[in-house]
Structure 1
């Protein structure tokens, strides 16, 4: 079990680093020119970020490096599972939407779950960037960061990939579906 300090045991850390390294090496198209040894040094120096990556992995996100920000000296991880992470589906958008449901409430909401995991919801731009590395959400969909003006009116937005295109849709923020989850981003 994870401790409240958001730190993995030595065994958990080694296992996660092994999984991440294998995925990194298998998917070099996502991070051309980047070196795993440098990524690993960053990860080992950031126990709380490793904890977040472990949560991403445990909920089916299959996190992988998709970029490097030279300005901030940070590696960028996205959930790269083929479909929306299984352990993060059937959630409405935020706490307000969850509280507004009178019956059949889901177990939680996207924004609180992402915050607990220490990750950010993908933006529409990031979601489109993700699609450059493969075909994601061809059978599922993923909530994305919703602009305040849409959320104020009770809506939230999500994306999927169909017919060789990214589609952006809207729904009531209190809706939830078994085939809709969310993808996260993490900077290390």
Structure 2
């Protein structure tokens, strides 16, 4: 897996079949994440939204292991989060956003979390979404994930990230321009 985002936003029939099989298998193995939701309904929604399938493929390709975590009854959308045990490997060693990336004088990372998410057509999880994800399993026991940072923190040069340690979700701060091999980001997608 690479950090490069594919410029081609269409999936071949083989890629589509492989993605749908991976999503269905994960869906069936993790029913506790989406009780009461039927795969056939999710698949029909996915097949009607090819641009969302491309985004899900990017989530999968970069190691996110996306899965359904909810259904918005008002909009009819299914909600996918990255559910990989650790922060997705194909999205690590990135600073928080483009401004942070451009502010680094030396040893710049290849990309930023906010930019990669935008290129993939997804959003970084918010702190609340991250906490909700942790109710569905235990994630980031060895890694950490950038989350959406409030503008007042970002204006001062900081950004926030979360992880799971000692049986709790911890929220930390760091300079937005920092990056670590064990820190990436998790995304959300509504279909």
TM-score (norm 1): 0.98
Counterpart of 1:153 in structure 2 is 156
**One of 44, 49, 54 as aligned partner of 2:47:** 44
Q: Residues 82-103 of structure 1, C-alpha deviation per residue, up to 9 Å, x if partnerless?
A: 0000000000000110000000
1:96-153: per-residue Cα shift (whole Å, max 9, x none)? Answer: 1000000000001011100000000000000000001110000000000000000000
Report the aligned-residue RMSD: 1.0
Distance in 2, Cα, partners of 1:14 & 1:68: 23
Moved more, 71-80 or 7-16: 7-16
Runs of 4+ in structure 1 deviating by more than 4 angstroms, as ranges, are 2-5
- C-alpha distance in 2 between matches for 1:56 and 1:19: 12
1:1-188 pair list within 5 angstroms: 4=7, 6-188=9-191
SS of 1:73's equivalent in the other structure is coil
Deviation at 1:35, TM superposition (A): 0.1
The number of residues matched between the two structures is: 187
Q: Distance in 2 between matches of 1:14 and 1:87?
A: 22
Name the SS of the counterpart of 2:111 in structure 1.
coil
Gaps of 5+ in 2: none
List gaps (5 residues or longer) in structure 1: none
Secondary structure, counterpart of 1:134 in structure 2: coil
